[in-house]
């Protein structure tokens, strides 16, 4: 081999892992063999497109012109390297990483650091001259990444009217498409229930103003059964000019929501692959106004009474609700003993014991 580079562990994410990838990608005509002990499979797949990758074990002889390593030097320590030049690469400032951790080995012929700052620190600590060679960087062509969002009451599987099973199927179809096409996505789910666990489905605590999240999305998604009477989330997204992925509920046709502003997933998901492809390839340019509301005519006329501001107080939870596993309405979960939460003055008697359980929930 001409060049051999050893790094013990390739993690799923890391700066040295990125350096090794950039080194391989920016030097496609160089003969490089990468040795490792343990490697994240995705990192290994990416590197293997450009360089030869081999798993190292003690006793495996590495014969090359130039041998490179970082702070882990197992092949050198084990006497497994035969090279014309053995080069240490310093990837950090050892004044901060710890002077005692600065790598040294009598077999090293040359030390390279990735910046002047790191080189000066290494030389100051060890007295060993250190050259500088900045890391290579050739930015990848940005891949298509969709930001998806739902604000819905996800159901448990026994009652699926809000489309929990369809969400699962869409996640599976999105993963398949992204794997084949080098695309990606993230899906923010504002929901109280969390029946689906998926690495790209990010649960968010419900909040009353979602507009900032909605306008930054590529699609809003609502996959209900044919039960929707109006579906505010759909009208909100469309009013901001954000297209929807929807099941074909009757009400949408009534409100003139069509394929110019939405992609429709059949209730039985039979067209799901077509839907996913459209999500990544279709472009939209529409304006939408919801149906005109006449509620101002329905409400009776009369002088407006002064609105009294809501009065609240902070209270401290006892251990009773925790011990009995009873949810507190204010936070929609079981509270920990000593935890403070906000409630209204009207709720105080109930929380103090005037409730069906006869439990004193607060101090």
Answer whether residue 298 is part of any domain. Answer: no
The number of folded domains in the chain is: 3
Residue 180 shares a structural domain with residue 275: yes
Residue 152 shares a structural domain with residue 119: no
pLDDT of residue 199: 96
Q: What distance in Å separates the CA atoms of residue 258 and residue 263, rounded to the nearest whole number?
A: 8
Q: Which of 261, 281, 301 is the last residue of a domain?
A: 281
Answer whether residue 343 is part of any domain. Answer: yes
Residue 90 shares a structural domain with residue 174: no
Residue 117 shares a structural domain with residue 211: no
pTM of the model: 0.80
CA distances from 249 to 32, 257, 306 (A): 57, 10, 41
Residue 130 near residue 113, CB atoms below 8 Å:
yes
Answer whether residue 304 is part of any domain. Answer: no
pLDDT of residue 338: 95
Residue 266 shares a structural domain with residue 160: yes
Answer whether residue 303 is part of any domain. Answer: no
Residue 234 shares a structural domain with residue 177: yes
Interaxial angle between packed helices 15-25 and 41-48, expressed in degrees from 0 to 180 and rounded to the nearest 10: 20
Element (H, E) at 15: helix 15-25
Q: What distance in Å separates the CA atoms of residue 62 and residue 2, rounded to the nearest whole number?
A: 11
Answer whether residue 137 is part of any domain. Answer: no
Identify any residues that bridge with 110 across adjacent strands, giving them in sequence order.
Answer: 87
pLDDT of residue 154: 81
Q: Which of 87, 102, 132 is the last residue of a domain?
A: 132
Q: What distance in Å separates the CA atoms of residue 173 and residue 156, rounded to the nearest whole number?
A: 21
Residue 102 shares a structural domain with residue 189: no
Answer whether residue 286 is part of any domain. Answer: no
Nearest to 146, CA basis, from 203, 212, 217: 217
Domain range for 156 is: 145-281
Residue 197 near residue 181, CB atoms below 8 Å:
no
Residue 276 shares a structural domain with residue 335: no
Residue 180 shares a structural domain with residue 251: yes
Answer whether residue 288 is part of any domain. Answer: no
Residue 161 shares a structural domain with residue 234: yes
Answer whether residue 8 is part of any domain. Answer: yes
Q: Which of 101, 132, 163 is the last residue of a domain?
A: 132
pLDDT along the chain (363 residues), means of 10: 96 94 96 97 95 96 97 96 98 93 95 97 97 96 96 73 93 97 96 91 93 97 95 96 97 96 98 98 96 93 91 94 89 92 95 93 92
Q: What distance in Å separates the CA atoms of residue 123 and residue 120, rounded to the nearest whole number?
A: 5
Residue 180 shares a structural domain with residue 249: yes
Q: What is the CATH number of the domain that holds 149?
A: 3.40.50.2000
Residue 185 shares a structural domain with residue 242: yes
């Amino acid at each position: 081999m001409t060049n051999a580079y050893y790094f013990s562990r390739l993690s799923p994410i890391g700066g040295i892992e990125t350096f090794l990838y950039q080194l391989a990608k920016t030097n496609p005509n160089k003969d490089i063999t990468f040795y490792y002990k343990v490697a994240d499979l995705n990192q290994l797949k990416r590197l293997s497109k450009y360089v030869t990758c081999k798993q190292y074990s003690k006793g495996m002889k590495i014969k090359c012109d130039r041998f490179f390593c970082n702070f882990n030097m197992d092949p050198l320590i084990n006497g497994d390297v035969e090279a014309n030049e053995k080069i240490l690469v310093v990837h950090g400032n050892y004044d901060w990483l710890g002077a005692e951790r600065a790598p040294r080995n009598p077999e090293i012929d040359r030390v390279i650091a990735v910046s002047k700052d790191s080189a000066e620190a290494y030389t100051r600590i060890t007295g060993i001259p250190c050259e500088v060679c900045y890391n290579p960087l050739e930015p990848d062509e940005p891949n298509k990444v969709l930001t998806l969002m739902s604000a819905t009451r996800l159901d448990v599987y026994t009652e699926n009217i809000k489309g929990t099973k369809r969400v699962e199927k869409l996640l599976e179809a999105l993963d398949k498409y992204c794997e084949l096409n080098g695309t990606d996505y993230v899906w923010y789910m504002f929901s109280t229930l969390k029946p689906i666990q998926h690495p790209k489905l990010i649960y968010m605590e419900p909040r009353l103003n979602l507009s900032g999240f909605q306008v930054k999305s590529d699609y809003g998604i609502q996959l209900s059964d044919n039960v929707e009477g109006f579906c505010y989330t759909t009208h909100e997204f469309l009013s901001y000019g954000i297209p929807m992925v929807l099941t074909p509920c009757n009400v949408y046709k009534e409100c003139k929501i069509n394929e110019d502003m939405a992609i429709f997933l059949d209730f039985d998901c039979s067209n799901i692959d077509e839907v996913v492809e459209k999500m990544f390839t279709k472009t939209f340019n529409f304006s939408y106004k919801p149906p005109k509301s006449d509620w101002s005519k329905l409400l009776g006329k009369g002088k407006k009474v002064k609105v009294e501001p809501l009065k609240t107080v902070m209270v401290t939870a006892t251990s009773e609700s925790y011990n009995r596993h009873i949810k507190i309405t204010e936070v929609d979960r079981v509270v920990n003993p000593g935890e403070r939460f906000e409630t209204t003055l009207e709720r105080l008697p109930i929380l103090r014991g005037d409730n069906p359980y006869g439990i004193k929930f607060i101090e």
